[in-house]
Structure 1
Amino acid sequence: MSTPDAKQHWEERYSERNRIWSGRANVRLVEMVSNLEPGTALDLGSGEGGDAMWLAERGWRVVAVDIAETALRRAATDAVARGVGDRIDFQQHDLSESFPDGEFDLVNAQFLHSTFPLDRTAIFRSAARAVRAGGLLLIVDHGTPPPWLSELHGHHQTFTPPEEVVAALNLPESEWEPAKISTPMRDVTTPDGEPAQWSDNVILLRRR
Structure 2
Amino acid sequence: MTDVKQHWEERYGQRDRIWSGHVNRWLAEIVAPLAPGRALDLGCGEGGDSLWLAEHGWDVVGVDISDTALGRAAEEAAKRGLTAKVRFVQTNLSESFPDGVFDLVSAQFLQSMVHLDRERIFAAATRAVAVGGVLIVVDHGAAPPWAPPEVHEHRFATLDEVLASIDLGDGTWERLRAEVVERDAVGPDGQAGVLSDNLIVLRRVA
Q: Give TM-score, length-normalised by structure 1.
A: 0.92
In structure 2, the partner of 1:126 is 124
Is the partner of 1:94 in helix, strand or coil?
coil
From the superposition, tell whether residues 193 and 65 of structure 1 become closer, same or farther in structure 2 (CA, over 3 Å). Answer: closer
In structure 1, the partner of 2:185 is 188
Total equivalences in the alignment: 204
Residue 4 of structure 2 is aligned with which of 6, 14, 32? 6
Mapped contact 2:103–2:129 kept (Cα < 8 A): yes
Mapped contact 1:107–1:131 kept (Cα < 8 A): yes
Task: Identify unmatched segments of 5+ residues in structure 1.
Answer: none
Kindly indicate whether residue 150 of structure 2 is the aligned counterpart of residue 154 of structure 1.
yes
Displacement, 1:27?
0.6
In structure 2, the partner of 1:30 is 28
Mapped contact 2:39–2:103 kept (Cα < 8 A): yes
From the superposition, tell whether residues 73 and 29 of structure 1 become closer, same or farther in structure 2 (CA, over 3 Å). Answer: same
Displacement, 1:117?
2.0
In structure 1, the partner of 2:105 is 107
Deviates more, 1:189-198 or 1:4-13: 189-198
Displacement, 1:190?
4.3
Mapped contact 2:126–2:169 kept (Cα < 8 A): no
In structure 2, the partner of 1:85 is 83
Kindly indicate whether residue 46 of structure 2 is the aligned counterpart of residue 48 of structure 1.
yes
From the superposition, tell whether residues 96 and 192 of structure 1 become closer, same or farther in structure 2 (CA, over 3 Å). Answer: closer
Identity of aligned residues (%): 53
Equivalences for residues 62-101 of structure 1 within 5 A: 62-101=60-99
Mapped contact 2:106–2:135 kept (Cα < 8 A): yes
Displacement, 1:191?
5.4
Displacement, 1:42?
0.2
Q: CA RMSD in A?
A: 1.7
Supply the AA of the counterpart residue of 2:150.
G
Deviates more, 1:47-56 or 1:167-176: 167-176
Is the partner of 1:12 in helix, strand or coil?
helix
CA distance in 1, matches of 2:171, 2:102: 19
Q: Give TM-score, length-normalised by structure 2.
A: 0.93
Displacement, 1:19?
1.1
Supply the AA of the counterpart residue of 1:64.
G
Displacement, 1:12?
1.6
Mapped contact 2:105–2:129 kept (Cα < 8 A): yes
Mapped contact 2:122–2:165 kept (Cα < 8 A): no
Is the partner of 1:133 in helix, strand or coil?
strand
Supply the AA of the counterpart residue of 1:18.
D
Residue 168 of structure 2 is aligned with which of 167, 171, 176? 171
Mapped contact 1:121–1:165 kept (Cα < 8 A): no
Displacement, 1:46?
0.4
Deviates more, 1:188-197 or 1:18-27: 188-197
In structure 1, the partner of 2:203 is 206
From the superposition, tell whether residues 116 and 134 of structure 1 become closer, same or farther in structure 2 (CA, over 3 Å). Answer: same
